[in-house]
């Protein structure tokens, strides 16, 4: 078998760049397609780079014609919940129309194995339950709604064109490549662990804890975290599932446990051996008390093991990357 190229949309972003490394290690050639609005050219290290925008069909057609990928791994999306509530049109246009262009092109060029990065935000506000793949979907913001819409498009294309898909739904992704070749770098930063590390490092005055009166043991909300390397490993497993003809499937990705904000802060203090300056603030609208996602299906059917997804390891790897430097365009 010759070279197998996989088109990785959003491959210059946090999760996409780690996916490209995992694909390379698995014997594929990742082709990064990214508009660099939130991604970084420096993060493209493991295969060809094609700059383009999914909204522009000519950009999408060009990359299929030039590289003839055997599969698509689709990460590219706007993903800020707050922004999606303020500018829903931006999310519907970018996430849904862009994805539709990509899916249609994949069918036109005979590329019918499709791995989609979705989100547990499609389930909406189901507080305090362990979500599984059969939980009802009631997204409460345009981000979650746009991702659910793409899931629906994929289901329709499976019926019409026998295009097979694996959909992964997950919440909080953390950590970084243990070798610090790629890592998490957003501008502005919105994710908890890098915000904590910025506060530890003096890059921001303090970390704000949004809400200390939740019905949890320490009063702060609880979220499920998965190490980015565990996450991209299972995306490769999902691709291989499709390649052997196993058919379309949805998988949740999480540990089913969850960590409170204060637990994450405490662990960061231990890992860095530095104090974490904090400020206590009011709750943010739309924040649930506890969101955790079970992954028994991914474990039993894909053979997934989330071996790095403990908080100490995630922060240790993130801290190594944090001290290593940052990207430029």
- pLDDT tens digits for range 58-105: 999 999 999 999 999 999 988 777 777 888 888 999 899 999 999 999
- pLDDT tens digits for range 136-175: 898 888 888 999 999 999 999 999 999 999 999 988 999 9
Active site residue ranges = 143
Looking at domain 5-174+225-253, its CATH architecture is 3-Layer(aba) Sandwich (3.40)
pLDDT at 191 over 70: yes
- The rounded distance, in Å, linking the Cα atoms of 29 and 98 is 23
Are 313 and 175 in contact, with CB atoms under 8 Å apart?
Answer: yes
Domain-by-domain residue ranges, the chain?
5-174+225-253, 192-223+256-324
**Helix pair angle (228-243, 14-25), 10° resolution:** 60
pLDDT of residue 328: 65
pLDDT of residue 87: 87
Are 83 and 95 in contact, with CB atoms under 8 Å apart?
Answer: no
- pLDDT tens digits for range 262-295: 999 999 999 999 999 999 999 887 677 888 888 8
**Residue range 244-271: average pLDDT?**
94
Q: In 3D, which of 92, 117, 100, 109 has the Cα closest to residue 14?
A: 117
Q: In 3D, which of 226, 238, 187 has the Cα closest to residue 309?
A: 226
Residue partners of 214: CB distance under 8 A and separation at least 6: 220, 221, 283, 289
User: 192-223+256-324: which CATH topology?
Assistant: UDP-galactose 4-epimerase; domain 1 (3.90.25)
Rg (CA), the chain: 19
Is-cis flag, bond preceding 301, omega within 30? Answer: no
- The rounded distance, in Å, linking the Cα atoms of 253 and 248 is 16
């Amino acid at each position: 078998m010759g070279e197998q190229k996989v088109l990785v949309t959003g491959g210059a972003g946090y999760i996409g760049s780690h996916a490209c490394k995992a694909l390379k290690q698995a014997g594929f050639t990742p082709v990064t397609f990214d508009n660099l609005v939130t991604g970084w050219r420096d993060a493209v290290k493991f295969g060809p780079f094609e700059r383009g925008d999914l909204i522009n069909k000519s950009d999408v057609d060009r990359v299929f014609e030039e590289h003839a990928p055997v599969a698509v791994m689709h990460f590219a999306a706007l993903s800020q919940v707050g922004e999606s509530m303020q500018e829903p049109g931006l999310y519907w246009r970018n996430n849904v129309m862009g994805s539709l262009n990509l899916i249609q092109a994949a069918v036109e060029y005979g590329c019918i194995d499709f791995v989609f990065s979705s989100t547990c935000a499609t389930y909406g506000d189901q507080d305090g339950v362990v979500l599984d793949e059969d939980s009802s979907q009631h997204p409460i913001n345009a981000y979650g709604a746009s991702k659910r819409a793409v899931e629906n498009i994929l289901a329709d294309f499976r019926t019409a064109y026998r295009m097979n898909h694996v959909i992964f739904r997950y919440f909080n992704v953390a950590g970084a490549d243990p070798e610090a070749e790629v890592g998490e770098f957003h501008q502005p930063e919105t994710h908890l662990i890098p915000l904590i590390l910025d506060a530890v490092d003096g890059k921001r005055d303090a970390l704000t804890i949004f809400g200390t009166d939740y019905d949890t043991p320490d009063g702060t909300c609880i979220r499920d975290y998965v190490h980015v390397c565990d996450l991209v490993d299972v995306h490769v497993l999902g691709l291989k599932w499709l390649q052997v003809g196993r058919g379309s499937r949805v998988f949740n990705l999480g540990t089913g446990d969850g960590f409170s904000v204060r637990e994450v802060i405490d662990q960061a203090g231990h890992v860095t051996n530095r104090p974490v300056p904090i400020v206590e603030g009011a709750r943010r609208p739309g924040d649930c008390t506890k969101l955790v996602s079970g992954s028994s299906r991914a474990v039993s059917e894909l053979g997934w093991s989330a071996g790095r997804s403990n908080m100490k390891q995630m922060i240790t790897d993130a801290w190594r990357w944090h001290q290593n430097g940052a990207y430029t365009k």
